[in-house]
Each structure stands twice: as structure tokens, then as C-alpha cells.
Structure 1
Amino acid sequence: MISISLCMIVKNEEDVLQRILSCAKRFCDEIIIVDTGSTDTTMDIARKYTDKIYEYEWVDSFAKARNFSFSKATKDYILFLDADDIIDDKNIGEIIKLKSKLESTYDVVTMKYITATDEYGNPTFSFKRHRLVKRSRNFLWYGNVHEYLAVNGKVLDTEISIIHKPTSINKKDSNRNIKIYEKMIKEEVEFTPRDLFYYANELKDHKRYQEAIDKYVAFLVTREGWIEDNIRACIYMANCYQILEQYEKEIDCLLQSLSFDIPRPEVSCRLGDLYKKRLQYQKAIVWYKIALEKEAENNMGFQLKDYSTWYPHLQLCVCYWHIGDKEHSEYHNQKAKEFRPNDKRILSNEQLFMRK
């Protein structure tokens, strides 16, 4: 059986830290906490679970802090988690099983990271992360913000899920990341393609839409981005143009994403929405059907399940109704209901079908 070191970096996490540590103690052989300047009871909570607590002076670099935490690990494999993550009983059981059967030839284990769920608990946004790594490989983190772990070797892909679940109390500085990027600009630090992409995301989130578009373009021009980031850049640019009411450019960006790979369900639905808005229902139907087809083989890519499940079915219900095909309209409404049984729109459609 392998042994696991949990490595975490924290700051002012008193509202969530006990929640994740109570999960981790069930399968981790060592818990390492690196505190970057807490002023609340975070350290007191951590001491209930481990004596391996280290204070670390924050230097505006998540990668450096994570690398410091990794340097303190002593077990076979290193697991990283954030304080506002949770792991349910089912997935804790899967990790315990993994510990007992994982062959030491594996260098990396991927797990699913669920960052958003709907009211039914269904994942709406998820992606895979290199979550468990062999300590002897000395893998390192890179990037001041939105850091990534550079890995190679033999990889085991799993469906084990970790859920990101912040509390309603949000003590995070919403300007923290953009401040770090703008400090890098001031210090004339050369941005990597990844930096450009995530800086553009921060600009978008801060409603600086034209600046965000410029950075997405600069990112794509490098032609060095990860394929999934390239596609997201096109989608996010389309979002910016939509808000700026430049709809033709919105379409151009969505279509540009097709140059990188087969259509992602989100892109297909967005194009379907645009045709539906123009009352071109037959064309909209084509795109919604594409969204329901088999997704691209992008195990590490972003998955927005709404766009490949209930949403295109609901829109197909509307489109078929408008072209007079009641049978297909009812069929797709029922398929949407399988995912959202209490959705008022779907129930209202059922009433309409009965009246007609």
C-alpha cells in the first residue's frame, strides 16, 4: 500500500479548513499545512490535525508557496487540496481503494475537479487535474497565479471526484489575482501564453471587456496555448462581444473555436441560440443536435454538462414546436426533464402539450 502526504497552502481559512481536514485524515498518512499569513484561527484548527505546520512569507507566487509545501513531504505520493475543497464518503472510499492497489510504477494520478453543481447536485463545470504525484519525481509548480504542476511519466486516469465548495462567507480578495498580474506588468515580467490567457480571464471578470479581448487575441497569436485554453479563449471572447452587443464578432469567435477541434457542446448551443433568436429554427436544430453528440476525447478538458444534456434538449423542444413537429418537441422536453425534473419551463411545456 502506498503512503500519501497531503500538502496545502492556506490563509484565513477558519470557515472551511476543518471540513477538508476531517476528510483528509481518513486516508492521508501525513498532513502538511503551509500558512501564508493567517490572522484568524486557521492555525489553531490545523494543529488539531497535524504538527507539520509551516509559516511562509507570501511573495505573490502560488507556485513558490506550493513548491515549498511539496518540499516538506516525506511519503510515497503527494496529494494537493485547497481549503475550500470537499470529498464525499464515496470518493474517500475510492481513494482508500486506490491506496491499496496503486502500482508504484505510476508517476501521476488524475482526478476530476468539480467546481460548480446545480440544485440537484449534478456537476455543471468540471475538469481533470493531476492530483496525486510520486514524491521522488520532484515535480514542480509554475506560475505566480493559476499555477500548474508540470508532470510527465506514467499517468493513471481516474473518475475520483473532488468538489470545490466555498462557503457563503467569502473572505478572498477578489482583486488579488489581477493585482499580481499588474504587478508583473509593472516589473516588466514577461508573460507566458498561459499568463496571457488567465490575465485576460481576470480582465473579463472585472468587466474590462475590450482589454480582455486584446489579451485573448495576444494569447491566441502565440499559437502555444493548450488546445482547451484556445477554445475557452474563443468562447470567452464571444462572451465579451455579446456583452458589448457586437454580435457578428461573437459569431466569428465561436466559429474560430472550431479551428482547434470538433465543436464543444457549449459552442454548438451558443450557435444554436443565435439562429433560434433569428427564428431560423431548422438551422438552430442542427447545432443543438451536434451538442448532444459524443463529446471530444479531451480527458483533461473543461466539461460544462448543461450544454450536452438538458439545455440542448429544452431548446430542441422549442424549435420543433415552432416548426410544427409536436412529436419531437414532446420527446426532447421529456429528455430535458430527466435531468431537471422540477424545472418550471419543462413542466410548463408539459401543460402546453396536454392543452394542445
Structure 2
Amino acid sequence: MISISLCMIVKDEELVLGRCLNSVKNLVDEIIIVDTGSTDKTKEIAALYTDKIYDFKWINDFSAARNYSFSKATKDYIMWLDADDVLLEEDYIKLQDLKESLDESVDMVVMKYNMSFDKNNNPCFSYNRERLLKRSMNYKWLSEVHEAISYYGNILYSPIAISHKKIRETPVDRNLKIYEYILSQGKKLAPREEFYYARELMYNNRLDDAIEIFNSFINSPGGLIENKISACKDLASCFFSQNKNLEGLQALFRSFQFDEPRAEICCDIGYYFLDRQEYNKAIFWYELALTRHLDSTSSAFQFVDCYNYIPYIQLCICYDKIGNKQKSYEYNELAGSVKPYDDYYIYNKNYFKNYFNDNQ
């Protein structure tokens, strides 16, 4: 059986650190906490779980802090978590099984990172992250912000998920300030960094700047295909926020130069036409979304609802608007098969009950 070092970097995480460590403490063989300047009880809480607590002066560089935490690991594999992450019970069991059975020829285990949830705690936005790493491979974190480890070696894609359960919001300009600092130092951003810099500009409502950087990234020869597709989606969002609707639609279509349509893009195009009451066009794109499939090995940001629930509920609306009540009803039932607790589904179900009763 393999041994695992849990390596974390923290700052002012007294509200969530205990929750995180309680969810994983019995699965790991070593807990390493690197504190980057807490002024609350974070280190006191950490001390309840480990004596391997280290201070690291914050230098506007998440990778530097994470690499320092990795340097303190002594076990076969290194696992990283953020303080507001948790391992849910079903994933705990899966990770326990993986720990007991993992072939030591595996260098990296990629797991799902569930980032947002519906009211019944089902994940609706997730993506893959490198999560368990063989220490002897000496993997290194790259980039000062939105840090990541390059994929190489013998990689296993696992259905295990880490759940990101944020209690407080990160200041919206935190990452943007880091980008602005490193740019002020004369650093040229790599393609991946340029993509994330554009996203931070978008989050901070600097839309013209975001549009410029998204275009630069999309036109550059480097960068991952999935990031290019996401950049087209984000670029469209910037244009739509400025009421530049045709430019937004063109940005969505631009994603097709990189690969076949993603369900997320199809749903955005479908909504464009639905909002303009062009229902047959909307139907085409929502039905196309239903032919797309989630890829468990993809690096993409995946909005799970775009592959079933959203097309179902929107097709219910579209078919109702063009007078096809039976097909509208059928799509609402499909939406209910995915989310039987959903308010829209329940409202529509009552609507159809009254309609069919009145027309018998």
C-alpha cells in the first residue's frame, strides 16, 4: 500500500481548515501545513492535526509556496488540498480503495474538482486536476497564480472527486493584483497565463481589457485547445455584457475552429436564439448539445447541466412556444429525470397537468 503526504498552503483559514483535515486525516500518513502569514487561529488548528507546520513569507507566488510545501514531503505520493476543500464520504471510500490498490507504476492521479453545486448538493461545475503525485517524479508547480503542474508520466484518471466548499469569497481582485505585479516586473505571460489573466480582467469588469487579452490568446499559436474554446465562451460573455450581441455570437462560433462543438457552447448559442424568440434555431442548438458527451479525461471546465438538464428544460420552453405541447411535455419529463426537485420542472409539470386536463 502506498503512503501519502498531504501538503497544504494556508492563510487565515480558521473557519474551514479543521473541516478539511477531518475529512482526510485518516487517509494520509503525513500532514504538512505551510502558512503564508495567518493572523487568526489557523496555525493553532493545524497543530491539532500535525507538528509539521512551516512558515513561508508570501511573495505573490502560489507556486513558490506550493513547491516549498512539496519539498517537506517524505512519503511515496503527495496529495494537495486547499483549506476549503473536503473529501465527501463516497469519495473517501474511493480514495481509501485507491490507496490500497494503486499500482506504483502510476506517477500522477488526476481527480475531479467539483467547484459548484445545486441546491441538492449535486455538482454542476467541475474540471480535472492533478491531485496525487509520485514524490520521486519531483513534479513542480508553475505560474505565480492559477498554478498548475504539467501532465507527464504514467497518468491515471480517477472518478474520485474533491469538493470545493467555500464559506467566504476571495477578494475579486486578489489574483488580478498578482498578475499586475508580475507584469510590472517585466514578465511576459505564457499562453496559459494570458488566458487566466484575461479571465481575471473579466471578473473585475474590465471588459475592454479582457477582450483584448482573450483575442491575443485565441490568436496565439500556443495554449491548450480546451482553454481556447473556453476563451471563446468568455469572450462572448464580455461582448454580451456590453450589448454587442452579434460579436458575442461570432465569438461562440469562433470556438469551432479548434474542435467540435462543446455542449456549453451549444447552450450559449441556443440561449442567444431563444432570447430572440427564434425558437426553431434554438431547438437546433439545444438538441445538438444533447449529442455531446462529458469526457472524463478532458482538461475543460465542464458545466454538467449543459449536457442534460439545461437543454431539456429549454427545449421544453421552445417546443411549447411553437405549439408542440407533447414534445414540450416530454422534454420537461426528461428534465425531471435529472432534477426531480427542480422548481422549473415542478412548475411545468403543473402547467401540463392543467393543460391536458383542459384539453381532454
Q: Give the TM-score normalised by structure 1.
A: 0.97
Q: Deviation per CA, 1:300-354, whole angstroms, max 9, x where unpaired? A: 3221011112111111111111222111110001111122323333222223222
2:91, 2:341 → 1: CA distance? 28
- Asked if the contact 2:263/2:292 (under 8 Å) is kept, the reply is no
Instruction: Give the corresponding residue for 1:88.
Output: 88
Deviation at 1:113, TM superposition (A): 0.3
- Equivalent residue, structure 2, for 1:258: 256
Choose the corresponding residue for 1:179, options 156, 173, 177.
177
Alpha-carbon distance between aligned partners in 2 of 1:174 and 1:208, rounded to the nearest angstrom? 12
- The 5 Å alignment of 1:160-199 reads 160-167=160-167, 169-170=168-169, 172-199=170-197
Q: Could you give the per-residue CA deviations for residues 114-158 of structure 1, whole angstroms, max 9, x where no partner exists?
A: 000000111110011110010000010000000011231111111
Aligned residue for 2:76? Answer: 76
Q: Distance in 1 between matches of 2:285 and 2:272?
A: 10
Scaled by the length of structure 2, the TM-score of the pair is 0.96
Q: Which runs of 4+ in 1 moved over 4 A?
A: none
* Counterpart Cα distance in 2 of 1:348 and 1:22: 40
Letter of the aligned partner of 2:110 in structure 1?
T
Q: Cα distance, 1:296 vs. partner? A: 5.9
CA contact (8 A) 1:262 1:296 kept: no
Q: Deviation of residue 285 (structure 1)?
A: 0.9
1:51 is paired with a residue of what secondary structure? coil
Cα deviation digits, residues 233-283 of structure 1 (max 9, x gap): 000010010010000000000001111111111111111112222322222
State the AA in 1 paired with 2:12. N
CA distance in 1, matches of 2:311, 2:151: 36
Confirm or deny that 1:21 pairs with 2:21. Answer: yes
Q: What is the distance in 2 between the residues matched to 1:239 and 1:46?
A: 41
Q: Which residue of 1 aligns with 2:118?
A: 118
Moved more, 257-266 or 295-304: 295-304
Counterparts of 1:242 and 1:48 in 2: how far apart (Å)?
49
Superposition deviation, residue 190 in structure 1: 1.0
Q: Secondary structure at the match of 2:302?
A: coil
Q: Does the CA-based 8 Å contact 1:264-1:296 persist in structure 2? A: no
The match for 1:231 among 229, 232, 238 is: 229
Identity score, percent: 43
Q: CA RMSD in A?
A: 1.3
| CA distance in structure 2 between the aligned counterparts of 1:164 and 1:296, rounded to whole angstroms | 20
C-alpha separation in 2, matches of 1:311 and 1:199: 29
2:278 is the counterpart of 1:284: no
Question: Which residue pairs with 1:321 in the alignment?
Answer: 320
Kindly state the Cα deviation for residue 87 of structure 1 after the two structures are TM-superposed.
Answer: 0.6
- 2-structure distance, mates of 1:153, 1:290: 36
CA–CA separation in structure 2 for the residues paired with 1:151 and 1:350: 47
Which secondary structure state, in structure 2, belongs to the residue aligned with residue 58 of structure 1?
coil
Report if aligned partners of 2:17, 2:84 keep a CA contact under 8 Å in 1: yes
Matched residue SS, 1:258: helix
- Tell me if the contact between 1:139 and 1:151 (Cα under 8 Å) persists in the aligned partners: no
**Is the 2:266–2:286 Cα contact (8 Å) retained in structure 1?**
yes
Q: Against the structure 1 CA distance between its residues 40 and 185, is the aligned structure 2 distance closer, same or farther, given a 3 Å change threshold?
A: same
Change (3 A) 1:355 1:173: closer
Q: Which amino acid aligns with 2:86?
A: I
What is the total number of aligned residue pairs between the two structures? 354
